[in-house]
Structure 1
Amino acid sequence: MRVPSNLKKGQADFNMTPMIDVVFLLIIFFLVSSHLAKQESQMPLPLPTAESGQEIIDDQQPKVVVNIAADGSLTLAGHRVPPSGLRERLQVERERSGEQLEVRIRCDRETPYANVKPVMLAATEAGIWNVAFSVIRPEDAAR
């Protein structure tokens, strides 16, 4: 049996090019995904004020942000979603993220409850019980 010539030297060479390519792709993926996550929570909406709101400390929990405009249109992950298709989208996110998924509702302060209720029902039907509202403090609203 013939021994390959590169093993006679006692060194094994690794080709680092594929690993470097994968690392660069992962860096690009995380940069893009973090940018999209910031975009959906920074959508310009005049949030309602609340005296009893608490700052969220544990931001490591997986969450989905649903934006509700004053006209009742829903935006999930930067895309408009019809109210009828919201439950299916939330179920997919729950299956992907696990049982501890949080739905954070950001709505315009002029949005009537009739536009918020379908979002809460869709979350319940998708098996998501952790629903929170994004609000601002009254003193921050004055600024």
Structure 2
Amino acid sequence: MRVPTNLKRGEAEFNMTPMIDVVFLLIIFFLVSSHLAKQEAQMPLPLPAAESGHEIVDDQMARVVINIEADGTLILAGRRVPAEQLVERFAAERERSGDSIEVRIRCDRATPYANVKPVMLAATEAGIWSIAFSVIRPEDAP
């Protein structure tokens, strides 16, 4: 009597190559995007000095950093942005990140308030109520 063998069927196997490719692409994406976020917060601007204030240590909140140069140029995500586009850009970030989002304003110390006001209005129109200013301590000021 012959004993039946199941050698022809074999076990079902998964091809892991596509999954590994996707994982590597995700890793590269997050590395590049985190590098750009750090680079934006380190843009050389002479920040204003402040006597009061506190250092924010809550890194769990999503954050949009906007830089305002002395001449009023707005820089968001490393690109110049006209003030008219801020509401839709902030609204898109709010939809993507949810309600717990903060707008961090980094402006040159020579920037007049007239250049900061449109940014604050755009944030509130987009439904973002958490707005913070980047400043330095007086003893650290040049």
Task: Please give the TM-score of this superposition, normalised by the length of structure 2.
Answer: 0.91
Cα distance, 1:4 vs. partner? 9.2
Query: Unmatched 5+ residue regions in structure 2?
Result: 1-5
Paired residues for 1:111-130 under 5 Å: 111-130=111-130
Paired residues for 1:10-21 under 5 Å: 11-21=11-21
Contact 1:53 1:136 (8 Å CA) reproduced? no
| Deviations, residues 30-74 of structure 1 (Å, cap 9, x unaligned) | 111011101110111000011212111111210100100000010
Give the letter for the 1:29 counterpart: F
Indicate whether 1:6 and 2:9 are aligned. yes
Cα RMSD (Å) of the superposition? 1.5
1:55 is paired with a residue whose SS is coil
| Deviations, residues 95-117 of structure 1 (Å, cap 9, x unaligned) | 11101110000000000000001
Is the deviation greater in 107-116 or in 133-142? 133-142
Cα distance, 1:27 vs. partner? 1.0
Q: Where has structure 1 moved over 6 Å in runs of 4 or more?
A: none
Which residue pairs with 1:35 in the alignment? 35
Larger radius of gyration: 2
Give the letter for the 2:18 counterpart: P
| Deviations, residues 79-137 of structure 1 (Å, cap 9, x unaligned) | 11101111111111111110111000000000000000110011111111000000011
Give the letter for the 2:57 counterpart: I
Give the letter for the 1:47 counterpart: L
